[in-house]
Chains A and B, each alone.
Chain A
Amino acid sequence: MSTPVQLTTRKDWVSDQEVRWCPGCGDYSILAAVQMLMPELNVNREDTVFVSGIGCAARFPYYMNTYGVHTIHGRAPAIATGLAVSRPDLHVVVISGDGDALSIGGNHLIHALRRNVNITILLFNNRIYGLTKGQYSPTSERGKVTKSTPAGSLEAPFDPVSVALGAEATFVARTHDMDRAHMQETIRRAWAHEGAALVEIYQNCNVFNDGAFTDITSRTSRDDMLIDLHHGEPIRFGAQKQFGVFRHLDGSVYTDTITLDNEASMVVHDESAPDPSGAFALSRLTRSDHEPTPVGVFRNVQRPEYGDLLNGQIVDSQERDGLGDLAALFRGNGSWTVSA
């Protein structure tokens, strides 16, 4: 609440629970990144709540020495909404996965983003159902062979960043489990955002979908395959920054080698553009995990936060009309008196 922020170290944020993900799971590096980042966020443990749904990622709150609730499948954004609007003094983080956030909980996700509720959503995307032992997820690529799709998945996948931008989320970013510094920087910015922030984290499930992101996130391929977005700068990538992102006349974007001729027309990243179309185009740049993929902050704009608005109506009403009076309420619709 209003208590001064205590200085903490990583250890203070680690709970006494034994971590139970499969050895080698990308979730470990995300957990470590968050636990190391927390002491830098100027927040007390008791003012921090991690809320999760169901799935491997959803075990996350048990490992954080904060307040935490492990809830039901897909509903974490809705539960977090009730919590965040009731307690604007808290930092509420939703931990979710691709199945949790985009399949069973898709409705809650888009509405929390649309309302701009003050929550930070970390969406661990491993493109598979892990906890139920390996069925395709709403982010699995078409044709994916899994236990439930022996002949290949028939479905077009969701891109979580595109979905969030479509819901006009005010903060949308992507990072990955192989780069702690990038994760921390991205989550730090999401944390600082007022309103709903969604961070998609590419996460390796080494048991059921190993190497899903290796082509783009491995140390050797990263330079050429990850397009790190920086606000206000031309979007370029590659070991020698020899590639750039350019815009077609129809607004869609593509990558190309930078030349003297095209250099001036490179897209300059504007995360604060009021219209989400530019960010959306960037989210559609690639449709696979084998081509250059943008990471970093796609969109970061200000819009009134839902809890502020909701609580503001209460304050306005109390200032205008005074605090509620039960006796007056009970008589409000008309009353009569029976005398003795």
Chain B
Amino acid sequence: MTQPPSPLSSVVLRFAGDSGDGMQLTGERFTTESAVFGNDLATLPDFPAEIRAPAGTLGGVSAFQVQISDHDITSAGDTPDVLIAMNPAGLRANVAQLERGATIIVNVDAFDERALAKAGYLENPLADGSLSAFSVFEVPMTSLTTAASEEVGVKPRDAERSKNFFALGLVCWLYSRPIENITAWIDKRFAKNDLVRQANYRAFRAGYDFGETSEAFAVRYEIAPAPFAPGEYANITGNTALAWGLVAIAQRSNLPLFLGSYPITPASDILHELSKHKRFGVRTFQAEDEIAAAASAIGAAYAGSLAVTTTSGPGLDLKSEAIGLAVALELPMIIVDVQRGGPSTGLPTKVEQTDLLHALYGRHGESPVPVLAPATPGDCFDTAIEAARIAVKYRTPVIVLSDAYLANGTEPWPIPDPLSIDPIDPDFASGPNATDAEGNPAFWPYLRNPETLARPWAVPGVAGLEHRIGGLEKADKTGAVAYDGKNHEVMTHLRADKVAGVVADIPDVVVDDPSGAARLLVVTWGGTYGPVAAGVRRARARSVNVAHVHLRHLNPLPANLGEILSSYSTVISPELNLGQLASVLRSRYLVDVKTVSKVQGAPFRAAEIDAAIEEYR
């Protein structure tokens, strides 16, 4: 094969196999190589809730989708151009998503009668003509892998486990990826077990060489680097970005970071990541339950820490009471909810945006809380920092609504200069702020900053500031327990006005409408940004004028939003729920926002958004 590779502007690959087949690792490695090569990319891991569902069944299929391109992209792509299926279940679970003409590369060794039956195939799809719409490449991955690694003395049963590296090698050849980094990575990653290292290396080489020599593949492709602004980049998941954002703002502000958390999918990786960063003085506390996780964060906030609790939907339910206490105590605190499918246990590993109303309203009493949502994996970094700024400045709990798609998805992230992150001044109370009836200096814990309405953050250890606070209603200014109705009304308004006043720190939203002539506005929030933006581009490519506005701030909403919404004849809100943002916007602005809903545990596809735009334009 001497032909030069054919240029391609982008490709969507999907690796699918058993959850024990190493598909996530394979996908991540291919992604990293593509990132380093300079492509723009976005990923969509998709794995079952069970750690090891029965092998070979549809329920046990683990998949990893990645789109790589030579231009700026915003999603992992709608339908795979290439499906790499390691077994019949991997094929069957994904084939319905493929469009005519797609490429399927199968590990033909895995298509024996038992495996076919387990996947629910009555006939072998490789033989019955059902795949005739696709280009199918049958590659004996298992036997070629075994043959390659047996040479170094690996037992056949163990040798087979390297077959994902064979697939990786083949795909790297097919898309002309440089292989030096991968081989170096294999050396490093498996340095502790030389036999495994050699087996994986050999399998990888065998896959790569198979592409080169077998002549099965008539062409190989090349996707040129995308035009990125000069600088240093890292490929980052949303959960990592969120954790790093917290570490960064705490470090820059010289505040100790405290995380109280209880393991829950898909948020646990934030706990794992922060637990590694003891060098930054980060205290992580794996609590006995979700309630204690939130409660311990309140204790840490009272102690003067930047306090965080992380969870997913079921945990947010349990934390509601503690968040209400933080509202009453007016202490800074960050609650991260990595949303997943609900109600109840729901779809633990799949994406949904169904906690918006819960975050906004899910507490008893008038209990206002600022709510932010990151747009992309990299944006989780900035959102965490902004949440910390608001929490500390306004002495309030802040909820961050990430989701399973952002949590595990990746994108190239321009590494920021740490010094470009402005420190937060915690402005701890240092002395008395009032005079008591006898004319002595006193400390009133609820005497507010007239501008922000924030109360003092008075941490224990400072003489003269001893004070008592609690969940009972407090008298305005002095903070003494007060049951008086008029005072309660004053305090209720003060708390509401304080959170509403956060709008002063929220930038106006900017409408994306290159035509300037759109009459249809698409409004999004949180993790649907990328997939919806891809759909909007698709519509524009058909010469449809459509505007897009994206919200990071859900409470308070940006000051100019009402004006924007009412200046379009039609407003649609695509959401991975039944219309939660639409309902907020309707009640707030009396604008007839239409819902485009999807609750299938998967992100929107560009085609779905394009179709919705077509319907409403």
Contact = CB atoms under 8 A, between A and B. Distances in A.
Interface of A: 1, 3, 15, 17, 44-49, 51-52, 54, 61-62, 64-72, 75, 78-87, 89-90, 107-108, 111, 310-311, 313-314, 316-318, 321-324, 326-327, 329-331, 333-340
A3 B260 CA distance: 30
Contact of A313 (B248, B278, B295, B472): B278
B470 A67 contact: no
B300 A83 contact: yes
Interface in B203-236: 225, 228-236
Contacts of A329: 244, 247-248, 277, 280
Contacts of A17: 468, 480-481
B542 interface: no
Most-contacted residue by chain B among A79, A82, A317, A327 (CB, 10 A): A82
Nearest to B458: A67
Nearest to A84: B299
Interface of B: 32, 35-36, 38, 225, 228-236, 240, 244, 247-248, 251-252, 256, 258, 260, 277-283, 285, 287-289, 291-292, 295-305, 307, 321-322, 324-325, 329, 415-418, 459-472, 480-481
A90 B322 CA distance: 23
Most-contacted residue by chain A among B247, B299, B304, B307 (CB, 10 A): B299
B233 A108 contact: no
Given A17-B480, A79-B299, A86-B305, A333 B466 contact: no
A82 B299 contact: yes
A168 B230 CA distance: 59
A82 B279 contact: no
Contacts of B304: 86-87
A61 B225 CA distance: 63
B228 A75 contact: no
Most-contacted residue by chain B among A67, A86, A326 (CB, 10 A): A86
Nearest to A109: B288
A244 to B, nearest CB: 40
Nearest to B248: A326
Contacts of B461: 1, 46-47, 87, 89-90
Contacts of A78: 287-288, 291-292, 295-296, 299
Nearest to A338: B228
A79 B417 CA distance: 35
A337 B232 contact: yes
Given A70-B470, A326-B247, 15 more contacts: A17-B480, A17-B481, A72-B321, A72-B324, A78-B288, A78-B292, A82-B307, A322-B279, A324-B247, A329-B277, A331-B234, A333-B236, A334-B36, A335-B415, A338-B228
A65 to B, nearest CB: 6
Nearest to A307: B283
Contacts of A335: 232-234, 415
B295 A338 contact: no
Contact of B231 (A71, A89, A313, A337): A337
A108 B460 contact: no
Minimum-distance CB pairs A-B, first 4 = A70-B470, A82-B299, A82-B296, A324-B280
Contacts of B38: 336, 338
Contacts of A327: 417-418
Nearest to B240: A333
A334 B468 contact: no
Nearest to A89: B461
A85 B416 CA distance: 32
A15 B480 CA distance: 11
Contact of A83 (B302, B416, B467): B302
A340 B228 CA distance: 9
A333 B185 CA distance: 12
Contacts of A44: 463
Contacts of A322: 279
A71 B471 contact: yes
Contacts of B305: 82, 86
Contact of A86 (B240, B287, B299, B325): B299
B471 A67 contact: no
Given A69-B329, A107-B288, A321-B279, A82 B298 contact: yes
20 contacts: A67-B467, A75-B321, A81-B292, A82-B300, A82-B307, A83-B300, A84-B299, A86-B258, A86-B304, A87-B460, A108-B292, A311-B283, A323-B280, A324-B251, A324-B281, A326-B251, A329-B244, A329-B248, A338-B225, A338-B230
Nearest to A51: B299
Most-contacted residue by chain A among B252, B280, B322, B329 (CB, 10 A): B280
A81 B289 contact: no
Contacts of A71: 295, 298, 325, 470-471
A64 B467 CA distance: 9
A340 B230 contact: yes
A111 B466 contact: no
A82 B303 contact: yes
Most-contacted residue by chain A among B35, B279, B415, B469 (CB, 10 A): B279
A175 B68 CA distance: 70
Nearest to A63: B468
Given A15-B468, A75-B291, A86 B300 contact: yes
Nearest to A52: B470
A336 B295 contact: no
A84 B298 CA distance: 12
Contacts of A51: 299
Contacts of B32: 334
Contacts of B325: 71-72
A310 B298 CA distance: 18
Contacts of B285: 81-82, 85, 310
Given A82-B300, A86-B258, A334-B235, A46 B468 contact: no
B299 A83 contact: yes
B432 to A, nearest CB: 13
A338 B279 CA distance: 30
Contacts of B470: 52, 61-62, 68-71
B369 to A, nearest CB: 16
Given A71-B470, A75-B292, A86 B418 contact: no
